[in-house]
Amino acid sequence: MTERDDELRNSDAYYHVVLERMPPRAEPAFEEPEMQERVWGRQWGVRNDVGTLRMVALHRPGDEINLMDPEKYDPSIAALIDDDEQWYWRDRTGPDLALMQKQHDGLVDVLVKHGVHVVHVDGSPTDPKAVFTRDQAIAVQGGAIICRMGPVGKEPGYGRRGEEAYVSRAIASLGMPILHTVHGTGLMEGGSFCFLNEQTAVVGMGYRQNEAGTRQVENVLAEQGVDLIRVPLTGHSLHIDGCIVMVDHDKALVNVTRLPYWFLDTLKELDIEPIHVWPTEARAVNCLALQPGKVVIDSGCPRTVERLNHAGVETIEIDYYEIRKNGGGIHCSTLPLVRDR
């Protein structure tokens, strides 16, 4: 070691001399396949709502369903309800857990038969709504946005607020990047998010979403070159997946009675063909695209199925009526984590 070497290593300029040979690289971007595979082990997330489904998160109904007390029937709304615990059940009698599990297993069977990797998400033992994993997070390019649920029970553990922690642990355990967690006073539930195409997404602005939450989602999308459209929902409507679900790259199943007129013009501008749900089968909108032009849909909606088939969309019908009494359908019960582009 020479005196000159020692002087260089101890000088203020040393790191400048060394690090100029180790420049940081902003490109390729975080979301690019090269970087996803190098850092995170695989390509994560989704860029549209209809690419072939590869991985999905679900929660099988469990003992938490028994929290819903059949003695708490309110004739004014024809349902069981508990304001303190923040749940409701759309029937005079209580839930049939065995039947719910059977119908949920039927959904899982369809997914597995189509090569989908099903990830189980735990839920709070006091949260009967945990089955609706769609609302807990939003998968976008390269990772997930963790949502912030609206309902908060009177006591800790009750209501949907808290599902965020369970889904965060499940996603992190997979090695999937969490790009953002909605925080502050933001409210956002994933059932009110929809990709129209790879450059355009929508958020249904309703009872469970607010501007603070929407801005946070918008900021993530802006980094990825995706525009976000705000669509006002009617009354106390919760989520946009009761209004529109994409069923192919250029086709959407819509309930026109719950969408503003100008949004239909937006679909036309994007060359998306609206397939109108049969007026008495509104629940059919809450279906799930397994791949472009192929959906799993609630049984008992024959006229909507006919319209879908006529438009070239293949349908797989399953019974889901018992779970639907809990306030959500097939789309609500599935959180896509990976789709083909």
Rounded to whole angstroms, the maximal C-alpha distance in the chain is 91
| Residues forming beta bridges with residue 143, ordered by sequence position | 140
Q: Has residue 39 been placed in a domain?
A: no
300-310 per-position pLDDT tens digit? 999 999 999 99
Residue 292's pLDDT is 98
Residue 14's pLDDT is 80
With cut-offs at 50, 70 and 90, classify the pLDDT of residue 1.
low
Residue for token pair 């807990």: 136
As a whole number of angstroms, the distance between CA 167 and CA 75 comes to: 35
Q: Has residue 218 been placed in a domain?
A: yes
Q: Has residue 183 been placed in a domain?
A: yes
Strand order in the sheet with 200-205: 193-197, 200-205, 227-232
State the residue range of the domain holding 284.
46-339
Those residues whose C-beta lies under 8 Å from the C-beta of residue 163, and which sit 6 or more positions away, are 123, 124, 127, 129, 130, 135, 136, 149
What the block records as the tokens of 189 is: 């539930």
176-227 per-position pLDDT tens digit? 999 999 999 999 999 999 999 999 999 999 889 999 999 999 999 999 999 9
Q: Has residue 184 been placed in a domain?
A: yes
Q: What is the SS3 string spanning 63-130?
A: HHHHHCCCCCEECCCCEEEECCCCEEECCCCCCCHHHHHHHHHHHHHHHHHCCCEEEECCCCCCCCCC
Q: Has residue 255 been placed in a domain?
A: yes
As a whole number of angstroms, the distance between CA 33 and CA 48 comes to: 16
Average pLDDT, the chain: 95
272-287 per-position pLDDT tens digit? 999 999 999 999 999 9
Q: Has residue 313 been placed in a domain?
A: yes
Those residues whose C-beta lies under 8 Å from the C-beta of residue 258, and which sit 6 or more positions away, are 233, 234, 237, 242, 243
Query: For position 78, which CATH number holds?
Result: 3.75.10.10
Span 82-104, mean pLDDT? 96
Residue 63's pLDDT is 97
Span 312-331, mean pLDDT? 98
Specify whether the CB–CB gap between 119 and 186 falls below 8 A: no
What's the distance, CA 218 to chain centroid?
Answer: 15
145-156 per-position pLDDT tens digit? 999 999 999 988
Q: What is the pTM of this model?
A: 0.95
Neighbours of 154 (CB within 10 A): 11
123-147 per-position pLDDT tens digit? 999 999 999 999 999 999 999 999 9
Structural domains in the chain (count):
1
What the block records as the tokens of 292 is: 């472009």
Residue 21's pLDDT is 86
Q: Has residue 11 been placed in a domain?
A: no
| Residues forming beta bridges with residue 295, ordered by sequence position | 289, 315
Pairing of strands 227-232, 200-205: parallel
Which whole-number Å values give the CA distances from 212 to 39, 125, 168, in the listed order?
31, 29, 20
Q: Has residue 12 been placed in a domain?
A: no
